[in-house]
Amino acid sequence: MPKYVNILSDFLKFTGNDRLDLINRMSTNEVNSLVKFKGIKTILTSDKGRFIDLITLYNFGDFVFTACSFNNSKNVISHLDKYTIMDDFKGENMAGTHKTILFYGDDAYSYAKELFNIDAAKFTNNDFGIYSEENKDVIISRNDNLFGGLVFICTSEDWEYFSDKLFDSDSKSKFGLKEITAEEYDTQRIEYGIPAFGKEMTDETNPLECGLEKYANGTKGCYIGQEVIARLDTYDKISKHLTGLKLENKLPDNYIPGDIKISLDNKECGYVTSTAKSEKFGNIGLGFIKTAFLDYSKEYSIKSNGSIKCRIVKLPFSN
C-alpha cells in the first residue's frame, strides 16, 4: 500500500539569465544542462567544502523553483548573494508558501497515474510534471533517495482543494493509503541511512562524509568548495564516515546531535547524530566515525549517563 507523510521544506524561486550558470558554479552537481520539467539535486558547499544545503531544482523554463531544508532558505539566499556580483540572478525566498507530501511504497506511481494522469514511473532523477485543475496546480516529482515514491507540492492556498482529491474516500479504499508520522518517517530515514540537514548535514561535514557522492559530479568545472572535495576524493583523505549504529540501550530524548561521543578502546573516535527505536533493528542511530577507527567487528561505547555499548553497521541497515 502507498504511504504518505508531510514533509517540512522551504522554497525559493531563482530568476535571471544566469540562474543555472550561477548555481552550477556554486554547487556540486552539473545543472547547466537542466531543461524544462527536469529536476535534480545538488549541494551548496562552503569554501571549505562543508554543507550549506542539499537543494532540489525544478526547472520551469523561465525560472527555477527550488526546495531547500526547512528554516534554511534565508541562509541559502545569503550564501548565493555573497557570490553574486555581475550575474543576472535573483533569489526569492518563498518559505511558508507551499505544502509538501511524500507518497512512497507500493502503488505510489499507480496512485499518481489514476488521480493526475501523470506517468511518473518514466521520470529519472527528480523530474516532475504539473497537474492543473480549476486554475490550481500541483507539482508531482520523482523522489530519488531510498524512500523512492513521489513528492507532491502545491501552494498553501491550493492545498484544501487538492487534499480533497488526494484523500477522498474512494482513493483511500482503493489504494489503502497509510499516514506515517514524523517520528516514523525519521526512523525509516535512519534505517535507510539518509542524512538530515542539521543532524548529519552540517557546517562540520561534507558530501563525501555523508555518502552523497551521487550528487557531486567529479567531471564538471570548478564550484565553491570543489578543490577541497576533489582532494578528499582523489587522495582518499575522507576523515570520517557516516555509519549506522546499533545501540545496547536508548539514548536520552533531549540529546544534542554531535554532543554525544563514541569511543573505541577508550579513544574518542566519533559522535552520534540521530537515534530511533526501530521495530526491525531495535535501538539504532546514525553517527560519524573517524576513518582510522572504522571496524565493523568491534564493540564501541557511547558516554551518556554511563557507558552504552554499540556496534557500527554499513548503511542502509539490514538483517
Q: What are phi and psi of 140, to 5 degrees?
A: -120, 110
Residue type, 257: P
pLDDT digits (tens, 9 = 90+) for 133-158: 999 999 999 999 999 999 999 999 99
CATH number of the domain at 137, please.
3.30.1360.120
On whether residue 304 sits in a domain, the answer given is no
Residue 117 · residue 138 · CB < 8 Å:
no
Cα–Cα distance list, 220 to 147, 180, 223, 226 (Å):
28, 38, 9, 10
pLDDT digits (tens, 9 = 90+) for 48-103: 999 999 999 999 999 999 999 999 999 999 999 999 999 999 999 999 999 999 99
Q: Is the pLDDT confidence value at 11 over 80?
A: yes
Report CA 239 to chain centroid distance, whole Å: 22
On whether residue 91 sits in a domain, the answer given is yes
Residue type, 140: I
Domain span at residue 121? 1-166+206-237
On whether residue 76 sits in a domain, the answer given is yes
Using a pLDDT cut of 90, give the percent of the chain over it. Answer: 84
Distance CA 261, CA 293 (A): 13
Q: Is the pLDDT confidence value at 171 over 60?
A: no
User: For the chain, where are the alpha helices, taking DSSP H only?
Assistant: 19-26, 73-83, 108-116, 159-166, 169-175, 182-192, 226-234
Lowest mean pLDDT among 2-11, 228-237, 267-276, 290-299: 228-237
How many domains is the chain partitioned into structurally? 1
On whether residue 63 sits in a domain, the answer given is yes
243: cell is: 555509519
- Report the pLDDT averaged over residues 251-278: 93
- Indicate the average pLDDT of the chain: 94
203: Cα within 13 Å, side-chain hemisphere = 7
Q: Is the pLDDT confidence value at 234 over 80?
A: no
- State the pLDDT at residue 221: 85
pTM score: 0.95
- State the pLDDT at residue 172: 62
- Report the pLDDT averaged over residues 299-308: 87
194: Cα within 13 Å, side-chain hemisphere = 14
Cα–Cα distance list, 21 to 26, 119, 144 (Å):
9, 30, 23
Lowest mean pLDDT among 56-65, 106-115, 167-176: 167-176
Name the residue with higher pLDDT: 93 or 219.
Answer: 93
Distance CA 47, CA 192 (A): 29
- State the pLDDT at residue 136: 96
On whether residue 277 sits in a domain, the answer given is no
Q: Helix crossing, 73-83 with 19-26: angle to 10°?
A: 100
Strands (E), the chain: 2-7, 9-15, 39-45, 51-59, 64-69, 90-93, 98-105, 128-133, 136-142, 150-155, 178-179, 240-247, 261-264, 267-278, 282-290, 300-303, 307-313
- Report the pLDDT averaged over residues 259-280: 96
On whether residue 193 sits in a domain, the answer given is no
On whether residue 191 sits in a domain, the answer given is no
On whether residue 64 sits in a domain, the answer given is yes
